[in-house]
A and B are shown apart, each in its own frame.
Chain A
């Protein structure tokens, strides 16, 4: 019951709010799942911000917080209803011809079986290791315990003695766990498993439903199979670390950019995209890099396509979504004293020395290629290359801006990671070995999304396409 109040109720409220706020024109089935995926991310993200603000201004989480949170969620529903809008979306969703239903049926049944295996394997892993993996109990869940157990002394979480816990990392994941514990009034491991499961499954649901809306249901299911079939994705999801949540917010931002391209209510999508990008920054420091990259990439894409004024208009709307979360992040960074291990002890001379050491470029480049090919995506790179070779590029492409955005974001993020490895004061091979797979997983769902946005759908390929009016 308490678990329901802590998660199901606010997700339901967020769903209703989004249902009214975003134009209601998605195909019913996929639209419901799409909205639900967004709702999960927004609920966990926003409540972690409000929880942090409560901790910051009032001390430990009390029953008062829970009452106010739920009242606030309910109040927002009529506000969203008042501003609701019913508009048509230029859907590219393709109705498969009747000849194609046999493919769709085979794919749907296979997907159901595979996703069932995926969920069951995830739950088994979580049952075997309910506290997650090293980084979970060494950082994310450890912070959750400190925040929850310390009561009014929650700032002890950021004590100098705990310098090794990446104290400056934002708090979305730990506070989401603390929030559920505060409802349950105990430290059940269900909370951390639930947070990990919600983000992992929502990422899959978001990928499938968004591509089902934007491209076709078959494309959505194929993309979902690629994601759940990526070995590291399942493992990392069950590890209870923050990389899968960050990957969710990165994907959600890019999906919202794609959806706004085909909507009359662009600004509404941009506001939600801003919120998602802000929540990415509130999840991990790499999310702050993502937020900066989004500003730069959209400036390049929009300015070159539609001029600087169009970019400034978009920026204004995007900023409305980002601002509240960014304000919380700034409060955290400024008021909670902590240092970052990547910057501690760095000087211009040491950074320059590392930047001019070309052996570091080789080591990092080799690690990127070896990891990406050998560990993360070996079979998928081969299969998706054949897929592209056989089906080719989509001809009718109304997603040009979002395709450019997605590819440039992935490219810039990889560049950012490369740069961080170049200047890292930590032992480079160790740093690469312990973090590269997590960094790639942050952008892996977006890479899959971008690929299926670019490539022809099977329906287009067989030229039996009936575009929905």
Chain B
């Protein structure tokens, strides 16, 4: 009987210890991140795009360009986040719309390359957020 009790005690201890260990680890990580007071990416994007969103509120579909193209994962995430904060405005990748949203790494991006492709700077909202307008064809 004693050995059976010991086995049960061992199993209880193992389950409790592993469960406690995993949860404590998760809790510690959470506390560390919370203490660092890092803003999540979406909140940063919401702040970056707040003025543009206000400006585009009567538009249904606009274009989207960015300089994140060198990394497809990063580019995809940047595009999804921009779409998330600007919804219900639909963002379509490319330069075929009248208005095109530019999402750039740098606060002062080089926009010359876009201007050679029939896009003109309509307004610079700062923080790498630029609205282009399509000119001509």
Q: Interface residues, chain A, CB within 8 Å of chain B? A: 103, 106-107, 110, 113-114, 117-118, 120-121, 124-125, 127-131, 134, 137-138, 141-142, 145-146, 149-150, 153, 156, 159, 161-162, 222, 225-226, 228-231, 234-235, 379-380, 383, 386-387, 390-391, 458, 461-462
Segment of B79-87, B105-113, B119-127, B129-137 in the binding face: B79-87
B55 at the interface (CB under 8 A from A): no
Contact B81 A462 (CB under 8 A): no
Chain A CB within 8 A of B54 CB: no
Q: A118-B23, A131-B42, A138-B84 are in contact. Are A379 and B7 (CB under 8 A)?
A: no
* Cross-chain contact A125 with B12 (CB below 8 angstroms): no
Q: How far is the CA of A125 from the CA of B30 in the complex (A)?
A: 6
| Known interface pairs A103-B12, A117-B24, A124-B27; A145-B19 also in contact (CB < 8 Å) | no
Report if B116 contacts A (CB, 8 A).
no
With beta carbons under 8 angstroms apart, the residue of A156, A225, A229, A387 that contacts B88 is A156
Chain B's interface size range is 35 or more
7 additional A-B pairs beyond A161-B92, A229-B21, beta carbons within 8 Å, are A117-B23, A118-B26, A125-B30, A131-B42, A142-B84, A229-B23, A383-B15
B77 interfacial by beta-carbon distance below 8 Å: yes
B77/A134 in contact, CB under 8 A: yes
Query: In the complex, are the beta carbons of A121 and B16 less than 8 A apart?
Result: no
The residues of A that contact B80 with a CB separation of less than 8 Å are: 134, 137-138, 142
Select which of B8, B15, B77 is within 8 A of A225 by beta carbon.
Answer: B15
Asked, given contacts A137-B80, A138-B84, A145-B84, whether A127 binds B34 with beta carbons under 8 Å apart, the answer is yes
Closest Cβ neighbor of A154 among chain B residues: B88
Closest CB pairs A-B (n = 5): A229-B19, A124-B30, A117-B23, A225-B19, A131-B42
Is B50 close to A, CB under 8 A?
A: no
With a CB–CB cut-off of 8 A, which chain B residues contact A142?
80, 83-84, 87
Q: A128-B34, A129-B40 are in contact. Are A458 and B88 (CB under 8 A)?
A: no
